[in-house]
Amino acid sequence: MRSSSASLNGFISQNGEVVKEAEKMCELAADHYENFFREPDNIYRPHPYTDAPEIEWENFNEEIPPVTIEEIMEVVNSRKKKKSCDAHGMSNFMFSSLPVQYWCLLLQIFNLSFSSAIVPKQWKETRVLLLAKKESICEVMATRPISLLDVFLKVDEKLFLTRFRDLLQRRGILPDTQSGFRPGFRLQTRVLLFLEQISSLMANSSPVATVFVDFRAAFDQLWAVAPSRVQTVQPQSYFRPINNSFNLLPSEKVYREWEYHDNICCCNNAYYTALTDIRLLTRYQENLCSESCSEPSHTDSAIFLRDIDQMRECRGEQPTFFFLLWVTLVCAWPCYLTRRIFCPKPKCLEIFGSFGSEIVRVKREDMLVAQVDVSTAVINSKLVGRS
């Protein structure tokens, strides 16, 4: 940070006490901003069937163009050589000392990220710094959080932004009235044109009515839930696919996705659930203990909502005698016992119908939302089918 930035020397707690210990300051800041950025309970969720039907455009299967080493070096050289470090201790200033051969290795990671629409988890880790807005000793709400993103994520975002802008220009998606964040479309210019139009109408004695909407802390607390993807004529490679081998139908909309992981034991399992307007897609992915296993095995299922007749909350699958005997014989009981004791227990929703039964596992805090959303989608699907 520059020397002109306001230094932060302490926090004023709710009872008026001044806290200057580093650990207590971190706890106060973490509690405040976790509550500040949490998802509110009163989110307006539009009805899923109020949207217009989606259209499969001719460029739906268009792939994201691959990255070249020349393009990477151009982006790297154009970045400012700042010395501020991210969560992993890397900075843009270090790029000048990184040989070109290393960027050739990162070239494969960037292309894999574009082809799979997945960003490495390590790149999502962010280092957050707090700056005092006015006084050096103030309340937590009087600070400004600064997030230092991963330096390699910034390069990846710049490469994707170049391709996304090219798509927007070729398809003519953004109108000329959309100002800001683009070269040649400054917000100040748009404001001047707007004021000129109002002055011209008032000079001609024409009635003028203007409405200004100001969202409080729009960049911090403005939440919105879209029932489906926004129709921007994008190819499918430009948005993240679901974790299921059953591809989405041309007019199918994804309403909600849930994800649950057993990430404590050595053998980690993952459960992915996607709710659409037509089907319920589930995946059980098993990561084996063996390091030689290059790709985890998974089981996918697709259930049509119109075939669901009953739902109930259950405890999930219980171990049988033969399973416990097999665990004992292969000496895998320590791993199984650790999972049963320390792994977070999921909430299970058992679904019955003409297909038999299927168990959906979600996090405990997501169970109430899952019950309401799945029930609503099933009822809507059956009503639409009858009409």
pLDDT tens per residue, range 128-171? 888 888 888 888 888 888 888 888 999 999 999 888 888 888 88
Answer whether residue 144 is part of any domain.
Answer: yes
Which residues, 6+ apart, have CB-to-CB distance to 15 below 8 Å?
none
- What pLDDT digit, counting tens, does each position of 97-133 carry? 888 888 888 888 899 888 888 888 888 888 888 888 8
Structural contact between residues 278 and 381, judged by C-beta atoms closer than 8 angstroms: yes
With respect to residue 382, please indicate whether it lies within any of the assigned structural domains: no
pTM: 0.52
Q: Mean pLDDT in the chain?
A: 76
pLDDT at residue 216, rounded to an integer: 58
Model confidence at 218, in pLDDT bands (50, 70, 90)?
A: low
pLDDT of residue 309: 86
The parent domain of residue 216 ranges over 10-229+268-284+313-343
- Kindly report which listed range (239-243, 298-302, 318-322, 351-355) carries the lowest average pLDDT score: 318-322
Q: According to the model, what pLDDT value does residue 291 have?
A: 45
Name residue 260's beta-bridge partners: 271
As a whole-number percent, the residues of the chain with pLDDT over 70 amount to 72
Q: Is residue 320 part of a domain?
A: yes
Q: How confident is the model at residue 76 (pLDDT cuts 50, 70, 90)?
A: confident
Does residue 149 lie in a domain region?
yes
The residue ranking higher by pLDDT, 319 or 30, is 30
- pLDDT over 60 (residue 210): yes
Is 289 part of a structural domain of the chain? no
Q: Is 238 domain-assigned?
A: no
Instruction: Check residue 326 and give its pLDDT.
Output: 57
176: pLDDT strictly greater than 60 = yes
> Distance between CA 236 and CA 207 in Å, rounded?
45
Tally the domains of the chain. Answer: 1
What confidence score (pLDDT) does residue 250 get? 66
As a whole number of angstroms, the distance between CA 116 and CA 238 comes to 10
Residue 358, domain member (yes or no) = no
Helices (H), 222-275: none
- Is 216 in contact with 223 (CB distance < 8 Å)? no
373: in domain: no
